[in-house]
Amino acid sequence: MIKHITTKLSDVRGELFGFSILTIILFHYCEDAEKAGFGGAAKALTTIYNLALGSSGVEIFLFLSGMGLFYSFSGNPRLRDFFRKRLTRVLPAYLVFGGAGWLTLDILLRKTGWLPFLLDFSTVSFWTEGRRLVWYISLILILYFLFPLLYRIVAIPDRRIAGTLTVALTAAVTAGCLALRFLSPDVYDHIEIALWRVLPFLLGAWYGRTARRGEGFTAQAVILCIMGVAGMALAAVTKWRPEFLCGIFSLRLGTLFYPFVVMFIAAGVLSKCGGSRFLRFVGAISLELYLSHVMIRAIMNEVGLKTCYPQNYLLCIALAAALSVAVSRLFARLRKKTERIHPHDY
């Protein structure tokens, strides 16, 4: 079963992107409802969702990104083509949604001035002040620029050497996260949401290698699932008993591998069902959906339309979906026109 799922994982990559962004949107509502202090059924439902899925969609998203980048770079290793494709995918969407969102928040609503706007829009404020609204964009752009170096490690012909170096790199990132937590807790609190997510990206790149070259991934998948279940048990104990292993393991470390259990289960179900056109469509506009959703959610909360209330959150989702479809179609048309004008650049 595991072998079938890992073999077919790349076949349902588009659907998994759609699945992950939908789980992220639901997680954001659970965050809002939890902050509002709702009790009764609302509290029970958010607790169940957080235990079952939580923010797993983020790790799945980054794993799939690492996997896709390996496929892309191995097919065309020209740096110019690689960076152009990555940047033309992310920057136009961010210029539209991020530009309009930060302009509305910083200039029109909060009236904090142009300097905070520039710091927020450039994502510098995430690294300096912990403004997390679009932390994913800041992280993924850095990972894009570093990926050619990562590829040189993961793609080493000798699988044992490549695997050893990838494990060493993963251990170094983990050690760096823990060291930063102890040495500079304030800085760690600002950026830990991004630092821990580097690890799923690395694992995704490794899986991209194994899938691309037809190498076995079954044993690694079993290990990831076992670590995922153990991690969730650790996270649950840490959450309900904060003093347990406090200062050694963080909740983020405990939940690091659990998303892979969710991903493999989702991949298995999707493979058995022959995929999903709806999830594939959602996956195709996942970046636009993420950006429009987080910006609209922030603006609504700023003007008093609290998204902890279901009717307001549904309005947020509806607006984000409509804008995402419209903008993604506009970008698709512009890309086609650009390809016709400069066919040799594509």
Q: What are phi and psi of 293, to 5 degrees?
A: -65, -50
Amino acid 246: pLDDT: 46
Mention every residue, 6+ apart, whose C-beta is less than 8 A from residue 304: none
Amino acid 221: pLDDT: 57
pTM here is: 0.88
Amino acid 225: pLDDT: 58
Chunked into runs of 10 residues, the chain (346 residues) has average pLDDT values of 59 92 94 87 82 84 93 92 92 96 97 96 95 95 96 91 87 85 88 90 88 69 59 53 48 67 85 88 96 98 96 97 95 75 47
Amino acid 131: pLDDT: 94
Tokens of 151: 């590829």
| Exposed e or buried b per residue across 16-44, where buried means at least 16 C-beta atoms within 10 angstroms of its C-beta | bbbbbbbbbbbbbbbbbbeeeebeeebee
Calpha distance 158→272 (Å, rounded): 34
Calpha distance 31→293 (Å, rounded): 14
Amino acid 247: pLDDT: 43
User: Counting every residue, how long is the chain?
Assistant: 346
Amino acid 173: pLDDT: 87
Amino acid 189: pLDDT: 87
Amino acid 221 reads A
